[in-house]
Every structure is written in C-alpha cells, then in structure tokens.
A and B are shown apart, each in its own frame.
Chain A
C-alpha cells in the first residue's frame, strides 16, 4: 500500500469510527434516557438552583465565611423559608380542598344528575336512557378522580426525588470551579482559550438570566398576592388561599405568554366554585388585577431584572413548553423556557468565539 492510499485509508477509517460513535451515542442516549430521566431532571434543577444561590454564597465568602459553611447557611435559610411558607399554606389548602369537594359532591353532581334526568324525561320520555346517561357521567367523574389520584402519586414520587436536589446543589456550588477546571483540562490546546472564555461568558449570562427570572417571579407573585388581598378586602373574601394562588402566578410567570393565563385560572376557578353574591364583578376585578400585574411586569420589572439576550418568539415558547411537557411532565414545562434560554445564550457565545478566535 503506497503512502497516499494509506493516508486515505486511515482518514476513511477515522471518519467511519466518528460516524459510528455518533450514531451509537445518539442511540444509546435514546435508549438510556427513559431510565435516567429523573436523574437528569434533578441535576438540571440542582444546577439552576446552584446558579441562583451562588451569588449569596460568594458574598458570604467575601465577608470571610468559609465557603462550605456559607453554602449550608444559604441553603438552610432557603429551606427554612420554604418550610415556613408551606406550613402556613398547606392547612388552608387542605381545608379549602375539603370544602370544595363536599360542595362539588353535594351541590354540583346531584344537581347535574337531577337536571339530566328531568331533561330526558321531558324531551324523550325515556327514564332508562336518562339513567344510562347519568351513570356514564358518574363513571366519568370516578375516572377523573382516579386520574387525579395517579397525578398525586406522581407528585409524591417527584417530591421524593426533590429531597436529593439539596445534596446535589450543595456539591455543585462547592465544587463548581473544580468541575469547570476538570472539564476544560480535556479540551485540546487549539480550542482552550476560546472554550474557557465561552464557558465563563455563558456561566455569567445564564446565572444573570436565572437570577433575573427568579426575581421577576418573586415580584409578580408578591404583586398578585397584593392584588388578590385587596379584592378580598373589598368583596368580603371571595378568593380563599390568595397567598398560594399569588405564588402559583409568580412561578407560572417563568413561562412567558402562557404563564400569566395559567396563573390567573386558579383564582378564577376558586372564585367561581365559592360563588360569591357579586360573582361577575369579582371575576372582572380578578382579570383586571392579573392584567395590571402583567402590565407592571412587562413595562417596569422585567426590563430591569431579566436579561434581554434571551428574548424568545411566542411560537418558540409554545413549542419548547410542549417538548418540555413531553420530556418531563409539569416540571419539564416549567423549566423548558429557562433551559432553552441557556441553550440560546450558549449558542450565541459559541458563535462569538468562532468569529473572534483564529482557529486555523
């Protein structure tokens, strides 16, 4: 074999192995993903939390507190705040759900059954058909309830996984620099400076974005709580659990365009079910409150706290939320936009690096 043939042969062999490894890698990912899905989701949540909490840890370290201790203090403060809020809200939610359930059972379902029977008796003079229809309605109701039980079961397993997240978060914050250094150590010299620069810039942008989103969600949550509190004061408490609903609105705000609607729905539903005397006006005021919160958010809060580099088209948002939902359920829907934001920022920085560094 002459020299040229040998070189060509080795190049073809190299290319074959690359293509083979790429196909094998993708296939392996597809096969493995369902088994490691929960771990990936937990890791992504821990990474996002680490980016959110890191500035507080850095601040304490700059004040002379040991890094490990600073992480423990920050996480205890956060966990304490969550536990305090949950302990305030949960008993209220349980009592509200109980009262709603009894209300639904006593009033709504009996009422529907009665009306259906009357309707068939009057229009078709067929009591048998009426009974069939009502039994179907009851079956549907039972199915809905069992689905809800499944939903709560999955929430339970989700909560169990969440218990691992604080541990992951602790080690990510503590050893972030070591991870980065180990990662960069394997990059060839040719791409070393560019990769280090990009990694740093992406890290900065992403953590600014996540901190901005969290601040925005917090402010929207507070504004929603305040708005609902005022409605409760004026209209004699039509919206029970307004603190919880306001918080949902804040968290839902992480999903642009869809979030505000998702945030308003629980408040409207609870009000409809509790059926206050001036229902129409209360509903109108709830809608006005949420629109007002969005106006304040879009005009003042968001431009100040959320990075502009991750603006997304509404269609992109809808598509990624659907994909997130398919991949990891409700959690996937919630984190779809931030994760897409991270991918967008990373791509922009990689393009910047490729443009500015001489790689030939």
Chain B
C-alpha cells in the first residue's frame, strides 16, 4: 500500500535532484560528465538559499569555490574603501561565478550579493581537490573543462587588449 507522506517526501527529493542535475548540466565545467559522474558531484555540492540583499561572499574574503544559480538573481559588485559600490554584472538562473577560487585561495576580487531570494549551489576547492585524488579520472575531466574556460577568457581578454592598443 502506498504511503502518501513517503511519496511526497520522495517526489520532493527527486525534484530537488532534477533541479540540481539541470543546473549542473548547464555549467560548462560539468557539461561533459555522464550521469554516474554527475551523481558523484551531487554528493559533494552544497545547496544554499539566500534572501534578497544577503552577501554570498565579500570582496577580499579568501576564495573557496564557485557558485551556480539554480533560481534567483546575483549582483557581482566591486566595493572601494569608502564603501561605494559598482555593479560589474547581474547574473541569472543557470549562471555561475567564483570559479577561479577552485584553483587557489586568492582573495575574492568582487563581492556577490543576492539581488532576489536565490537558490544557489556551491562547489568548493577542498571537495574538488579531494575528488581529484579519489576519482582522478572525473577530477581531470573537470580540471580540463576549467582550463578550457580560463583559456577562452584569456583569449578574449587578449583580443580586447589588442583592440584597445590599436585605438
């Protein structure tokens, strides 16, 4: 006999897992992973909920890892010493930020503030390094994707620099 309470719990659980899978699939770092590998990632990510105006991290904090927005809005903001802020970007569902912190603990170059009630996934360096050791094949796949993204960013920066130099 089916139990309605248990069914409700199960359906909520699978819906949550679906949300996470969808969000992860949209992130280039994880896009090439198979379902089994995705399962491993799901085990080590942290899901957090932020209220509007709540900081996710602050500029100058030691970098710890990247975040993926499942639902919500996040402002990437630069703060000066006087406390004035400049919004550098507004990120929406499916966007990710802070990925360079997967590589080292350098201070965050900007703050991330929730601009709306947001549902966010966190993937952090200590867990990534642990995964890299325990499941090196999977770790290398992620590392390679991360390198491709950083390479692409560098190429774009070089192009913009070249355009600026010509001017």
Residues in chain A within 8 A of chain B (CB atoms): 58, 61-62, 177, 181, 184-185, 189-190, 192-194, 196-197, 200, 356-358
Contacts and interface: CB of A to CB of B under 8 A. Distances in A.
B43 A196 contact: no
B97 interface: no
Contact of A197 (B62, B130, B133, B136): B62
> Which DSSP category, helix, strand, loop or mixed, fits chain A's interface?
helix
Contact of B64 (A177, A185, A189, A197): A197
16 contacts: A58-B130, A58-B133, A58-B134, A62-B135, A62-B136, A177-B43, A181-B44, A181-B46, A192-B48, A193-B57, A193-B61, A193-B64, A196-B124, A197-B126, A356-B61, A356-B62
B54 A189 contact: yes
B44 A177 contact: yes
6 A-B pairs closest in CB distance: A200-B126, A358-B58, A61-B134, A193-B64, A357-B61, A62-B134
B96 to A, nearest CB: 16
A301 to B, nearest CB: 26
A247 B43 CA distance: 41
B133 A62 contact: yes
Contact of B50 (A184, A185, A189): A189
B63 to A, nearest CB: 9
A192 B58 CA distance: 12
Interface size, B (range): 20 to 34
B109 to A, nearest CB: 14
Contact of A189 (B43, B48, B60, B133): B48
A255 B136 CA distance: 38
Nearest to A58: B134
B61 A358 contact: yes
Nearest to A358: B58
A184 B61 contact: no
A184 B64 CA distance: 14
B103 interface: no
Contacts of B135: 61-62
A346 B130 CA distance: 20
B56 interface: yes
Given A184-B46, A358-B58, 18 more contacts: A58-B130, A62-B133, A62-B134, A62-B135, A62-B136, A177-B44, A185-B46, A189-B50, A189-B55, A192-B48, A194-B61, A196-B46, A197-B64, A200-B126, A357-B58, A357-B61, A357-B62, A358-B60
Contacts of B61: 193-194, 356-358
Given A62-B134, A185-B46, A189-B48, A196 B64 contact: yes
Interface string B109-134: 00000000000000010110010011
Interface in B53-104: 54-58, 60-62, 64
A197 B63 CA distance: 9
Contacts of B133: 58, 62
A357 B59 CA distance: 9
Interface in B36-53: 43-44, 46, 48, 50
A189 B44 CA distance: 18
Nearest to A201: B126
A358 to B, nearest CB: 4
Nearest to B120: A189
Nearest to B127: A177
Contacts of B56: 189
Nearest to A62: B134
A196 to B, nearest CB: 6
A193 B56 CA distance: 9
A196 B122 CA distance: 11
Contacts of B136: 62
Nearest to B137: A64
B135 to A, nearest CB: 8
Contacts of B126: 196-197, 200
Contacts of B43: 177
Nearest to A352: B62
